[in-house]
Structure 1
Amino acid sequence: MIAALLAVGSAGDLDDSLEALRVLTGRPALLLRLDAFIRREPWYSTRPAPSLTEADPVALVLAASHADGRIRERVVRRMLHQPHPEMMPFLVLRTSDWVRQVREPACAALAVLLHENPLLATPATVRTALLTNRRQRGAFAHGQLLVPLLAESGTALSGRLLTAPDPVVRRFVLDTTAHRLRFRDLVALAESDPGRQVRARAAEAAARQAVWTDQVEPLRRLARSRHAEVRITALTGLMRTGSPQNVVPYLDDPSALIRALAREAARRTGTDPLVHYRAAVQAAEPRAGAVGGLAETGSRADGPLLTALLDNPAPQVRVHALRALRSLDVVPVPRVTVLLRDGSTAVVKEASATLAPNATQLPADLLWDMLTDPRRPAVRRAGYRLLTRHDHLTALRAALVVSGDTHPRLAARGKTDATTQIRNLVPHPWRTRPVPSLGASPAQAAELLALAEQRCTELTEGVIQLLRDALRPVSGSR
């Protein structure tokens, strides 16, 4: 990388040099690693420094990481008179330099440059300052960036940084200037920012302003957001403004936290949440949130209502019905067993999780048939999950079968499980737990060895030999 940068700089094109620096500073974490690497690299740190009166920007910033502190000090002073925005992250690095004669001029240069032109605080500069703030002497740049952001003229800078691609930069700016941003700008950020934490912080600031000024309509607008972290903040604001009736309609929200808040609002308005949920799950098109709400407020007596939802055409409703039956401990094993071959992968996964405590009650032939399903990895994965709940012999056999699966993740899981189980069969003096007994008959032992030898490309020869040794008394092999 260093050679490529030097090649760009030696070409003598200023625009190309600055573009190379923009690409590099676009990844500040890489910039910090490069800085440390250059100091340790003998090839670069022992080479003569470039003539700083004629050095291009690339050569200048690389010299700012030179092992010789006197060279770094000269570069810092030169940066003060050549304030390209692309070079500011490198100046920020030097504000945390371990040499006082380098650090102090760098801090002074950063303060002067940001005072003269606050827009030099580019997103890369801010991100680098946030990273160096973790260092022992790295707090100066972080504190210095607060000055232009909090200044009366900092609106343009904060607006520019709030569009930065890095969510960490947007969070920093929002945390610093939220009290000064316009309400509509906060709402726009809460509704459209791609970063979850940025949306949550913007929604919190907007809701706080709305509560202070007793504005219900903006909160209702935020409560319609598709993002749960925005909805919960807006609904909490509605509760604080004394408008619980606006929160009750969210009893069926997909978010469990929002449903809990809506139930509190329902109690304040005299609505019985349990009655609502029992009626909601019997609707022509029940919502998944209503099924979750019934699981949170219902009892075992609601088992028939939830079992009826297992025939619902919507996969998400079936998934939530399975979770509800599991949480209320009213699992109809025969009915849920049918869903192990459901057309939805999510339903198959949830059905296997629901039946896991009752795995030994399921027909073994069904599970082995699922383990060899030719078309659907989800069915094979569900069968394997349930077979591992059986005895050690069944679990090991299933792991050996799965280790040769065509699905890479399932095969890797089978390989890991088989290796672990085989190694656990070997007694060791430092193990306090007893060695598990497979209880295999001679025919079963021969089958296990045959399966293991078929998996010689997946399992190591040492692991297969451990299995031979563990099964020798049973199989009679030598």
Structure 2
Amino acid sequence: MRDTHTEAATRLARGTPLTSAIDTSDPSAWTGLDLAARQLARTRPSAVPDHAWATGRRFRWPWDAPLPTLNLSRRSRREPDESGLALALCHPDGRIREAALRRAALLPAPALRPLLPLVAIRGADWAEAVRHAARGLLRSALPASGPETVAVLAPVVLRVAARRHGEAARTLLEATLREGPAPVLDTALVHDDRATRRLAHRIAVERRHFSPEQFATAAATDPDVAIQDICADGAVAGVDPDTAEEVLAPLLRSPRSRVRAAGVTALRRAGRPERAEAFLADRSGLVRACARYVLRQYGIEAAPLYRALCAGGPVPPAAPLGLAECGARDDAALLWGLTDHPHPGVRAHAVAGLRSLDATDWARLVPLLDDPAPGVVRETVTALVPWTDRLPGAEVTARLGTEHPRHVRVGAFRLLVAHGGPELREVARTLIDDAEPKLRAGSRALLRN
């Protein structure tokens, strides 16, 4: 990658236009060019154009600061072209960088736009005089920038914002997105850069750029988790009794748990607690907690509803765990009765609920190590780990046999590892060439240690 940036700086030194020398859509190309051009000027000063036009331009630098080192063999005072000015903006001498910024400020807007990402980088420069000049130029140029310019500039600004002096450029960018024309924000909303899209969506919520229904749709469909949260908040902020159905429907149907949780919580604001009952047995613990919260705000206790779900006909798979999350230790009897339920999800959540209530009985759980469902065995092993000193070691070791299913063998090995003991190394030696990758890798790791 470093070689790529060096080649880009070399192409600029040969007069290649900036937009042809680097991939302007890649923010790392700009920061890489900044470093590569500086290194090129230090190590091969004869390869870069001279900066005679910048001599004597001290501005606010100390009066006794030495003048920039110049290539006297090619000294001239001709005006720098775009490539030369770009290299000057990356020069190791701060006075040349400042002079380049002053010269860039005199350019017409079309000629300045390609240089703005380098100006943004200079806004985080270590030298105060350079930072001041760069920020002034950004402050005047950004409000007049179009969508295409902001699309290139925004990722660079957000990357540079992590530097010590980089926050000022980010503030200017945020002001442009917040106060600028809608097309500028629209371009940032669909940008390929994740940080740019996140910032744009936050500002879109502040500006109420979309309707609550549009924010709800974006929350339910966008693949980025942070944007899901941002848009869900924007949708919920616009919920009222008249628009509740249109806004909440996409949120409640979303396959993403955080979005569903936001929709369920908004049911309280919409005055529709009865709809929260359907989410008491949601597969997500966060959604279940939000549903219980909404019901509690209206004086409805969730525990009796969970008991009815667990004692009724078709038991929702997550209902036993939901009961344990808000029930009492007396509910353990109901959960034990569900450990032999026909549905494997119900059995697994019943075991997890017993563990949550601290109502496990290792003797009653051991037979579940042979359950045909891997999820049930995983939950059973997790519940039995604190009891490994009481487990019958011979029975657990017997389950390592190849006649047992893969998940039973892996679960038994987990319990043996949790128990430890001198016999564990002997067990590991018998499994170092096992056909099951997890057993083989775990045994070899034990023997190495």
Query: For 1:336, what is the secondary structure of its paired residue?
Result: helix
Alpha-carbon distance change, 210 to 383 in structure 1, aligned in 2, over 3 angstroms: same
Q: Supply the distance in 2 between the matched residues of 1:414 and 1:392 (Cα, whole angstroms).
A: 14
Q: Which residue of 2 aligns with 1:22?
A: 24
User: Does the CA contact (< 8 Å) of 1:85 and 1:120 recur in 2?
Assistant: no
The structure 1 residue matched to 2:90, chosen from 65, 69, 91, is 65
Alpha-carbon deviation of 1:272?
4.5
| Within-5 A mapping of 1:301-340 | 301-334=330-363, 336-340=365-369
Alpha-carbon deviation of 1:325?
1.6
Alpha-carbon deviation of 1:298?
2.9
| Within-5 A mapping of 1:197-208 | 197-208=226-237
Q: Does 1:107 align with 2:171?
A: no
Q: What whole-Å deviation, never above 9, does each CA across 1:295-315 have from its counterpart, x for those lacking one?
A: 113334433432343344544
| Within-5 A mapping of 1:1-20 | 1-5=1-5, 7=7, 9=11, 17=20, 20=22
Q: Supply the distance in 1 between the matched residues of 2:344 and 2:82 (Cα, whole angstroms).
A: 61
The structure 2 residue matched to 1:157, chosen from 181, 184, 190, is 184
Q: What whole-Å deviation, never above 9, does each CA across 1:107-164 have from its counterpart, x for those lacking one?
A: 233233323324255345223322323333222211211232222x421111111112
Q: Does 1:92 align with 2:120?
A: yes
Q: Which residue of 1 aligns with 2:376?
A: 347
Query: For 1:254, what is the secondary structure of its paired residue?
Result: coil
User: Does the CA contact (< 8 Å) of 1:210 and 1:218 recur in 2?
Assistant: no
| Within-5 A mapping of 1:358-377 | 358-371=387-400, 373=402
Q: Supply the distance in 2 between the matched residues of 1:400 and 1:42 (Cα, whole angstroms).
A: 62
Higher RCO structure, 1 or 2 (CA under 8 Å, sep 6+): 2
Q: What whole-Å deviation, never above 9, does each CA across 1:10-38 have from its counterpart, x for those lacking one?
A: 798769826x423542xx4x754664566
Query: For 1:319, what is the secondary structure of its paired residue?
Result: helix
Alpha-carbon deviation of 1:416?
5.2
User: Does the CA contact (< 8 Å) of 2:280 and 2:292 recur in 1?
Assistant: yes
User: Does the CA contact (< 8 Å) of 1:319 and 1:347 recur in 2?
Assistant: yes
User: Does the CA contact (< 8 Å) of 2:413 and 2:439 recur in 1?
Assistant: no
Q: Supply the distance in 2 between the matched residues of 1:341 and 1:78 (Cα, whole angstroms).
A: 78
- Report the TM-score, using the length of structure 1 for normalisation: 0.72
Q: Supply the distance in 1 between the matched residues of 2:98 and 2:2 (Cα, whole angstroms).
A: 21
Q: What whole-Å deviation, never above 9, does each CA across 1:257-298 have from its counterpart, x for those lacking one?
A: 332332344355565522321221244442233122111133
Q: Supply the distance in 2 between the matched residues of 1:372 and 1:31 (Cα, whole angstroms).
A: 59
**What percent of counterpart residues are identical?**
28
Alpha-carbon distance change, 117 to 261 in structure 1, aligned in 2, over 3 angstroms: closer
Greater Cα offset, 177-186 or 307-316: 307-316
Q: Which residue of 1 aligns with 2:67?
A: none
Alpha-carbon deviation of 1:41?
7.4
Q: Supply the distance in 2 between the matched residues of 1:157 and 1:13 (Cα, whole angstroms).
A: 29
The structure 1 residue matched to 2:280, chosen from 251, 261, 265, is 251
Alpha-carbon deviation of 1:353?
0.8
> What is the one-letter code of the residue matched to 1:115?
P
Q: Supply the distance in 1 between the matched residues of 2:96 and 2:436 (Cα, whole angstroms).
A: 56
- Report the TM-score, using the length of structure 2 for normalisation: 0.76
Ranges in structure 1 where 5+ consecutive residues have no aligned partner: 421-478
> What is the one-letter code of the residue matched to 2:162?
R
User: Does the CA contact (< 8 Å) of 2:2 and 2:32 recur in 1?
Assistant: no
Ranges in structure 2 where 5+ consecutive residues have no aligned partner: 52-78
Q: Supply the distance in 1 between the matched residues of 2:405 and 2:161 (Cα, whole angstroms).
A: 50
CA RMSD of aligned residues (A): 3.8
Query: For 1:287, what is the secondary structure of its paired residue?
Result: coil
